[in-house]
Amino acid sequence: MLNVRVRPYSNPEVSFFLFIIISQLGLHTVTGVWPLPQSLTISMERYSVNPKDFNFGRNSSTQICSVLDAAFKRYFSLIFPDYISENDGLSSHDAKPFSLVVSLDHDDCEGYPNENSSERYTLIVSAGKAFLNAETVWGALRGLETFSQLVYQDYVGAFFVNKTEIEDFPRFQFRGLLLDTSRHYLPLNSILKTLDAMAYSKFNVFHWHIVDDPSFPYQSRTFPGLSDKGAFHPMTHVYTQADVRRVISHARLRGIRVIPEFDSPGHTQSWGKGQPDLLTPCFRGGIPSGIFGPINPALDSSYKFMTRLFKEVTSVFPDSYIHLGGDEVNFTCWKSNPYVQGFMQKMGFGSDYKKLESYYMENMVNITLALNKTSIVWQDLFDFHEPHRCLSVVAVWKDGCYLCEVRRVTKAGHRVILASPWYLDKPGPTHNWARYYTVWPLAFKGQKEQKKLVIGGEVCMWGEYVDAANLSPRLWPRASAAAERLWSDEKQTYSVEKALPRLQDFRCKLLRRGVQAEPLFVGHCRQEYHGI
C-alpha cells in the first residue's frame, strides 16, 4: 500500500466533475428507490403529503395485523423524520389529506417469514391516495419501505410524493447478511440496529454466525456450561434466551428470517471449554498434547450431544433452515489421535479424512432432518466429492472462480447461496461498493432449471477486525450495493454510473434514519450523521 499515490486528486477535471454531480445530489429534489423496483414509473406530477393529515388505511380483510401496526408506527417516523408533534409548523399551508391504503391477499400476520414467503407488491400513488397491494404482509413491508423512500422534502421542509406506479418483487428469495458474534461480541443493540438497516435495503435473512472458535456467547438452556466457560465473559458477553427471542421478534416485524449457524466440526474451540470430551484430543509423540481439535467424530457421545443441542436450537429459532457450517476442518488433530485412527479403520475410510468429515456431517444433516429442518452447509462438504444424498443447500464462500463452483453445485442438483464475492469485512476503498455491485450471480453456463437453484446470496461480515465500534460504517452502504444485486433486475441495474447517484441519495437517507453509513466519495448530505 505504501507505494500507492496518495491523494486521489491527480485529475482535477474528473474530480471536479464528480464533485458537481455530488453537490447536486445534496439537493434531494427527486429521490430514487434503493434497491430499484422491477417496474417503476414516476411522473413529474407531485402531491403534497402532510404529516398532520396523513394516515395509513387498510382494506376490510386486513383489519387485525400486529406486524402492520408496528410497521405503520415505524414508517410514519421514517416518512416524516422531522415531525415531532401536532404543533409542528411544517408544511401547514396547503394541507390536503393523504392516505396509504394497504390490502393483503392473505391476511395471515401471525407467522414468521419463510423460504416461500411472497414479497411481491404493487404500489400506486395518485392524488391524495396510495394503494399498496401485496400477497402477504411481508410484501407489504417491502412496499412500505419503497413508499417511505418516495416521499421527499423541499427546501422549506414540506413533504411531497410524485405520481408513481410500481410493481415489484425480489429477483432472489434469499438475501442474507451474516454477522459474526464470536470473534467479537456484538451488543444486542448493534444487532437490532443492523436489522433495522437491513429492512431499509430489503434484506430478508439474518444469518447469525453466533459461535465459533474464539467464544460461545449463546446461552444454552440445555448446556449452560457452554457459555459459562466458552463466552468471553459469562455475564456481560452472552446472548440470553430473552436476547435471542428479542432478535427473532425484531427481525420478524421487519420480514427478516433469523438463521443461526452452529458451525461444526471445526471452528469449535470455544465449545470444548464447557463440554468435556466433545473435542478431539490431539496427540504428539503418542500422548495427548493438551491441545484439542475439531469435534470428535468417533464418539457416540458427540452425536448425542449435538442431537440435544440442535433439539434446543431448532426450538428456539423458528426458521425452517439451520446452518451447520462444516467449513475449514483441519485434519491434523484427527490424524494424530489413535482412537480416531481406529475408528477410520473400523469404518473402512482408509486414510481419507474427508470421508470422516462427510460421515460426521451426514450425521448432522440427519439430525436436523429428523427435526424437520433444512440444513445449509458451507461448500467444503460438497467439494469432497463424496456422495451427498442429504445435502440440500450449499453456501459458496471460497474465493477464485466462485461461479464455477456455483455451476458444479447446481449441476449436482443442490440449491446454492452465494457468499464469495460479498465478504464485506475487507475494507474499502479497494473493496468499494462498485465491486460488490458488479457481481453477476447467474453468469454461468447452465439450464434455466439449474439457475433456479441459486436461491440467493449473502453478505458476510466476519469479525476478526470488526466490533460495535466499526461495524455499521463497514456494512453500510456497501451491503446495500449487494442488496440491489439480489433484489433488482440485473439488466436495469447493470451500470455503476447510473447507480451512483441513487446510492448516494440512499446513503443520505440512511444517515437521516440514524444509520452510520459511510460516504462513497467526496460530498455531503443535507443532514449529516450526528454521532461520533
Site for other proteins in 438-477 (CB under 8 A): 460, 462-474
Which residues, 256 to 315, sit near other proteins by CB under 8 A?
284, 291
- Cβ closer to other proteins: 60 or 430? 430
Q: How many residues bind other proteins (CB under 8 A)?
A: 81
Which of 28, 193, 252, 415 lies at the binding interface for other proteins (CB under 8 A)?
A: 193
530 near 515, Cβ under 8 Å? no
The region of 228-236, 254-262, 387-395, 496-504 touching other proteins under the rule CB under 8 A is 228-236
Q: Restricting to residues 57-76, which ones interact with other proteins according to CB under 8 A?
A: none
List the interface residues with other proteins, window 388-427 (CB under 8 A): 397-401, 404-405, 423, 425-427
Q: Does 12 bind other proteins (CB under 8 A)?
A: yes
Joined grid coordinates for residue 357: 468429515
Closer Cβ to other proteins, 3 or 372, answer by number: 3
Distances (CA, A) of 75 to 28, 118, 259, 269, 457: 19, 21, 26, 43, 27
Nearer to other proteins, 171 or 507 (CB): 507
Contact indicator for 202, 483 with CB cutoff of 8 Å: yes
Active site residue 386: no
Is 532 a binding residue for other proteins by CB under 8 A? The answer is yes
Take residue 420 and report the three cell numbers written for it.
464469495
Q: Is residue 199 within 8 Å of residue 74, measured between CB atoms? A: no
Neighbour count for residue 24 (Cβ, 10 Å): 13
Q: Please identify which residue in 120, 142, 184, 202 interacts with other proteins, judged by CB under 8 A.
A: 184
Q: Which of 297, 423, 310 is nearest to 354 (CA)?
A: 297
Q: DSSP string covering 346-384, please?
A: HHT-TT-HHHHHHHHHHHHHHHHHHTT-EEEEETHHHHT
Please tell me the distance from the alpha carbon of residue 515 to that of residue 387, in angstroms, as a whole number: 45
- Amino acid identity of 163? K
Could you write out the three-class secondary structure of 471-495?
A: HHHHHCCHHHHHHHHHHCCCHHHCC
* 57/187 with CB nearer other proteins: 187
Q: What are the cell numbers at 203? A: 434484506
Number of H helices, E strands in the chain: 18, 17
Confirm or reject binding of residue 106 to other proteins (CB under 8 A): no
117/516 with CB nearer other proteins? 516
Sole binder of other proteins in the list 16, 95, 413, 443 (CB under 8 A) = 16
Nearer to other proteins, 300 or 464 (CB): 464
What is the residue whose three cell numbers read 458474534? 181
CB of 416 to other proteins, least distance (A): 16
Q: Give the type of residue at 89.
A: G
Name the minimum Å distance from CB 493 to other proteins: 22
* Residue 214 near other proteins by CB under 8 A: yes
Minimal distance in Å, beta carbon 371 to other proteins?
Answer: 27
Q: Which of 167, 328, 357, 405 is catalytic?
A: 328
* Site pattern 477..516 for other proteins (x: CB under 8 A): ----------------------------------x----x
Out of 303, 359, 384, 521, name the contact with other proteins by CB under 8 A.
521
Please, which of residues 359-388 interact with other proteins by CB under 8 A? 383
Minimum distance from residue 121 beta carbon to other proteins (Å): 31
Per-residue H/E/C for 166-191: EEECCCCCEEEEEEECCCCCCCHHHH
Q: With respect to other proteins, which residue has the nearer C-beta, 53 or 327?
A: 327
Binder among 221, 245, 445, 526 for other proteins (CB under 8 A): 526
Cα 245 from chain centroid (whole Å): 18
User: Does position 7 bind other proteins by CB under 8 A?
Assistant: yes
Q: Which is nearer to other proteins, 338 or 400 (CB)?
A: 400
Task: Quote the cell numbers at residue 391.
Answer: 445435502
- Asked if 235 interacts with other proteins (CB under 8 A), we say no
Residues 129-168 interacting with other proteins (rule: CB under 8 A): none
Footprint on residues 305-364 left by other proteins (CB under 8 A) = 327-328, 330-332
Closer residue to other proteins (CB): 71 or 508: 508
Strands 279-284 and 287-295: antiparallel
Long-range contacts of 114-117 (CB under 8 A, 24+ apart): 114/257, 114/319, 114/320, 115/173, 115/174, 115/257, 115/320, 115/321, 115/374, 115/455, 116/173, 117/255
| Residue 86 binds to other proteins (criterion: CB under 8 A) | no
Dihedral sign of CA atoms 254, 256, 257, 259 in order: negative
Residues with a known catalytic role: 328
